[in-house]
Amino acid sequence: MDSEYLGYAAGILTTVAFLPQAMQLIRTRQARDISLTWAATMTAGVFFWLCYGVAKQSVPMISANGITLLLLLVILFIKLRYQDSTDTGEK
């Protein structure tokens, strides 16, 4: 089995794992239960994995970490924007 397939499988699964959380935060705009330390650390870590993938010219690493970084930036933005808010965004 080509190791690239393992990279794609791992990338798809770990990226998809962030979708439910991002969608929940977008929908509810309630982020008080999300750890800012976790969100910031995870975002930085994924950014460095993306840089590593670029240096290695690894398409699975670049694509998975690029998409994951976007999802984490959404999570981090919502956390910073709505962290103390109990408002669900409904008017």
Q: Give, as one character, the DSSP assignment of residue 41.
A: H
Name the pTM for this structure: 0.82
Cβ atoms of 69 and 17 within 8 Å: the answer is: no
Cβ atoms of 34 and 25 within 8 Å: the answer is: yes
Q: Which domains does the chain have, with CATH numbers?
A: 35-84 (1.20.1280.290)
Distance, in Å, from the CA atom of 26 to the CA atom of 50, rounded to the nearest integer, reads: 24
Distance, in Å, from the CA atom of 54 to the CA atom of 74, rounded to the nearest integer, reads: 22
Quick: pLDDT tens for 36-89.
999 999 999 999 999 999 999 999 999 999 999 999 999 999 999 987 655 454
